[in-house]
């Protein structure tokens, strides 16, 4: 009897459209209780459920309309700011190491990626991380900017900055 109560309780949690209107119950020779939506020769009793009441869909909220809080955060335009290095910064690195960090005004959506550009050329693949660590960058002046893409479409662009990488050069004496 306890198992029947648990079954009925579990079935009441499912939407009414997927429930059978009649459930058949029997106990086998080992004492195991069975339930089915189809009658069998062993069925000892059946339980009939009345038709579920009709639910009005007019009272339900529109799931496609975002809440005011969600619309302010999720749908705000993405802005990108390069935080490090800074504009016109001279970076001394004999091994050519350069770290770039950006700040975003909101989290990236699942289908958004960031692309680092150096001297108008993409560096590595687009990514979701907001920092890059580059090695063996050539000495000299470099223009850096970060682009954001969604489904291959450019949706945001940082202000470009100029940095100067200083590396020691070995002068050969002849």
Domain boundaries, the chain: 2-48, 75-166
Span 143-163, pLDDT tens digits: 999 999 998 899 999 999 999
pTM of the predicted model as reported, rounded to 2 decimal places:
0.55
Q: What is the DSSP letter of 132?
A: E
75-166: CATH topology is Immunoglobulin-like (2.60.40)
Span 66-116, pLDDT tens digits: 545 444 445 689 999 999 999 999 999 888 999 999 999 999 998 999 999
Q: Is 114 helix (H, G, I), strand (E, B) or coil?
A: strand
Strands (E), 4-159: 22-27, 33-36, 45-48, 80-84, 90-92, 98-104, 112-118, 121-127, 131-134, 140-150, 153-157
């Amino acid at each position: 009897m306890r198992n029947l109560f648990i079954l009925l309780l579990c079935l009441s949690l499912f939407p009414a459209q997927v429930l059978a209107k009649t459930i058949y119950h029997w106990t086998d020779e080992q004492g195991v209780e069975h339930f089915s939506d189809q009658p069998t020769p062993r069925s000892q009793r059946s339980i009939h459920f009345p038709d579920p009441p009709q639910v009005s869909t007019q009272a339900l909220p529109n799931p496609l309309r975002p809440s005011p809080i969600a619309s302010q955060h999720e749908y705000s335009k993405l802005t990108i700011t390069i935080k490090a290095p800074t504009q016109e910064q001279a970076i001394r690195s004999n091994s050519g190491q350069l770290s770039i960090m950006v700040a975003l005004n909101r989290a990236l959506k699942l289908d958004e990626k960031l692309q680092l550009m150096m001297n108008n050329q993409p560096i590595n693949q687009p990514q979701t991380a907001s920092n890059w660590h580059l090695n063996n960058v050539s000495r000299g002046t470099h223009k850096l900017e970060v682009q954001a893409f969604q489904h291959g479409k450019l949706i945001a662009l940082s202000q470009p900055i100029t940095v100067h990488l200083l590396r020691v050069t070995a002068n050969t004496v002849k």
